[in-house]
Structure 1
Amino acid sequence: MIGLKRIVLLALWISSYLAQAQNPLPTDPRATAATRNLYHHLQQLQHKAILFGHQDDLAYGVGWAYEPGRSDVQSATGAYPAVYGWELGHLELDSTRNLDQVPFKKIQAYMREVYQRGGSIPLAGT
């Protein structure tokens, strides 16, 4: 038998879910305009597409490194990833390369390329 506490919690969850579904906003009230726009865009895509991400996608892949426009995901699927991640380890040490030996200057260029293509680069702490 389901206890009253569980029923109340379930009702609260359902009501908060329905409220969120009607007016989707980021949970952080201090979210920047860029964050709110990204969130809104992702909400619009949720029933239209599956977004796929890949770490260090443009820097290197199977049997290659630093070839302009190259991507294992693009080679396999015909499309670039929607979301990109980049290793930033060693940035705090003022190194010119990250933990994977990718030059930070190249990462900056890749991030611009991704942005121009319409891809997304989630940034921690923003």
Structure 2
Amino acid sequence: MRIRHIAIAGTAAAALTLGAALPAFAGDTQPPAKPSHTAAAHDTSDLRALAAKRKVQVFQDASYENRRTTFTENMRNLKKDGWNDTISSAINQGKCTVTFYQHKAYVGARFSLTKGEREPHFGDHPHMSDATSSIKFRC
């Protein structure tokens, strides 16, 4: 009987170390827990994979100069991030197509960069010189 209690305690300690849940009694069987949707949505490997697909580096000035940042998600309104009407060049470093829009909420004049494309001067596109207000990725 004592050996059984030691074995159960050892199993419980191992399970706690591994983060697993045990049934109320060692002899009980319970169905395995289903993964939560919240946990799956925040899996860091999924987020890294998505960021690798969606990645554009933008620059304040033409020819990839001065202030820069990288976006990995759709940006409905760049005003909130301090980049509204300031982007002059960009490099699409992801696998998705990225589209730059003249106005917030993805409207107005626009142009796109596919995987690996670069744009050294947004002013070469009508109505886009220092006029980008939203960015959207398409995969």
Normalising TM by the smaller chain, what interval?
under 0.3
| Structure with the larger RCO, 1 or 2 (CA within 8 Å, 6+ apart) | 2
**What TM-score do the two structures reach when normalised by structure 1?**
0.26
Q: Identify the structure with the greater strand proportion.
A: 2
